[in-house]
Amino acid sequence: MSVTINNKEYKHDNDFLESKKDLIVLTSDGRAIKVDSKLLKETSPVLEAQLSHLHLDHSSDAVKLHIKALQDDTIDFTNMTYKTFKETLEMCLKYVTKHEGLGLLGQINEEKGVIGHFGAEKGFELFCLMPHFNDMLTSCRIIKEVGPEATQDKNDKYGDFWDPLLWTKDTMKELRGDWACAYILAHKSTAHPYGTRDYWDDVSRRFLLMLVV
């Protein structure tokens, strides 16, 4: 079933008709989802201000995952796409729900972690998101997991972030300044041979130390 609003058709989400929730959210991929307006009002001042618009410019999968994070639900990451996960983290930033974003990261880290689920080629992009949540521990885990793989594989799909010899003035431009400095200095401080697991473990450890001191 579906509903038509402003000449656009929105398909009902699976439990739309049975749901007793009071607010209909229209998503960017043409879905109509029922949510609890009280939950959104209490957790995000930005969402509270937008409730009258009904339309959120996000996919239905990301909206549903964001709501699960707001409710502190247990989340199954098994078949989740990277696109949905990243979009949900960006929603947490946009709607001032960083704490719930940290909860989402905490849950995935209890399992295989972000790299285990989405692959090392997403490492740099995820690493650049972590300063917005001040999530140093996930960043350290990304360094330890992506570094050795990027070094051994020598494939440009990982980007030049993982090889100091390839750095240019643009390499760190997407990364917040203090995290970029800590990452650069961590590479310069280690005495281990480049590319070894000991090297990346030490870079991860020094990166954390430089951020907390």
Q: How confident is the model at residue 12 (pLDDT cuts 50, 70, 90)?
A: confident
- Token pair 């907390």 in the structure block, residue: 212
pLDDT at 54: 53
Rounded Cα distance, 138 and 28, in Å? 30
Radius of gyration of the chain (CA): 20
pLDDT at 101: 97
Q: How confident is the model at residue 5 (pLDDT cuts 50, 70, 90)?
A: low
Rounded Cα distance, 177 and 30, in Å? 38
Q: How far is CA 196 from CA 148, 157, 166, 180, in A?
A: 7, 20, 17, 21
Pairing of strands 31-35, 8-12: parallel
Give the tens place of pLDDT for each residue, 23-53. 778 888 888 888 888 888 888 877 766 665 4
CB 185 within 8 A of CB 153: no
Give the tens place of pLDDT for each residue, 70-91. 999 999 999 999 999 999 999 9
- Token pair 């949900």 in the structure block, residue: 88
Which residues lie below 8 Å from residue 122, measured CB to CB, with a gap of 6+? 82, 114, 115
Q: How confident is the model at residue 102 (pLDDT cuts 50, 70, 90)?
A: very high
DSSP annotation of 63: H
Checking if the pLDDT of 159 tops 90, the result is: no
Q: What pTM was estimated for this model as a whole? A: 0.79
